[in-house]
Structure 1
């Protein structure tokens, strides 16, 4: 980066980064769990898993929403000396930092099926739904305000997009970056990072 420059990651992308890595392994663990009778039986395991999935989705969706809203409300416009991190880079960085935790969570979900079949796998899937829901909520904010929310990469990397190390969000126009409001993949993806100053029309 140039002198005084710093990297920014999309808030919504940081939020939804874990979702896919919880959803598919969670469903796989639940599917494996259905094949295991378990101590409680499949029916009880599936019912318990459904309750856990709904509970996890609601808790994850609601967690820290006040903090997100506060940071979004106080966000300032991005300067010219920032680097906008691509969506794929944000996802890859998160995956590398958490791959062993994801593997342990998957193995634990499969192992728990010998007691309560499929329950923990459905719990993981429910958490993923909550994250996707929160990303969509952020997307509605971005569309309403016609701006995209960004967070400094080093702050988000230490505790997430609303962690204690995050002191402020930064705003750009909707043409900046390579992801739509809410963090979903855009139809046209640029290769490599881009300086915010090179996308003035989007701010």
Structure 2
């Protein structure tokens, strides 16, 4: 990279990168948990899991929403020399950095079936659904502002695009990069 160039990753892609690795293993853990009678019984476990799914989804989707909005309002234009990271690279980096946490969460969700069948898996799936909803909301902001939000890759700590070390987002036009608003794959 040239002098003053920085590597930038899409905010919505970072947020969305954790959705699928939490959603599918969460549903699998819930299905495995539904096969185990558990201490409380399947009905209570699955009803508790459904409530946990809804609460977790809402909490994750709304968490730090004000911080994301403030960073989006204060966004500056990306420079010509800035390097825009591909969607696949951003998602792969997030998943590699969180693979042990995701494995531990899956194992804990399966193990929780001994007490509340299916509840741990639905909790994990709710976190994935909340991340997806947050990415969709960021995509709505991007469509509204006709700009895509990016963050410096050296500032993203532990996959948090709205952490304390993030001072501002960068923006580009809506056709930059290889991901659509909200972090989904761009249709060809």
Give the alignment's TM-score, normalised by structure 1: 0.91
The answer for unaligned runs of 5 or more in structure 2 is none
Regions of 4+ moved over 3 Å: none
Q: Distance in 2 between matches of 1:150 and 1:2?
A: 19
Per-residue CA deviations over 1:126-153 (Å, capped at 9, x if unaligned) read 1111111111111111101100000001
Per-residue CA deviations over 1:7-63 (Å, capped at 9, x if unaligned) read 000000011111000000000000000110000000000000000000000000110
Match of 1:12 in 2: 12
Match of 2:107 in 1: 107
Match of 2:146 in 1: 146
Per-residue CA deviations over 1:53-106 (Å, capped at 9, x if unaligned) read 000000001100000000000001111111000000001001111111111110
Match of 1:118 in 2: 118
CA-based RMSD? 0.9
Change (3 A) 1:14 1:171: same
Match of 1:91 in 2: 91
Match of 1:61 in 2: 61
Give the alignment's TM-score, normalised by structure 2: 0.98
Match of 2:29 in 1: 29
Q: Distance in 1 between matches of 2:86 and 2:117?
A: 39
State whether structure 2 residue 47 is matched by structure 1 residue 47. yes
Corresponding residue pairs, total: 188
Match of 1:199 in 2: none
Q: Distance in 2 between matches of 1:155 and 1:121?
A: 32
Give the drift of 1:6. 1.1
Per-residue CA deviations over 1:140-177 (Å, capped at 9, x if unaligned) read 11101100000001112345110011110000001100
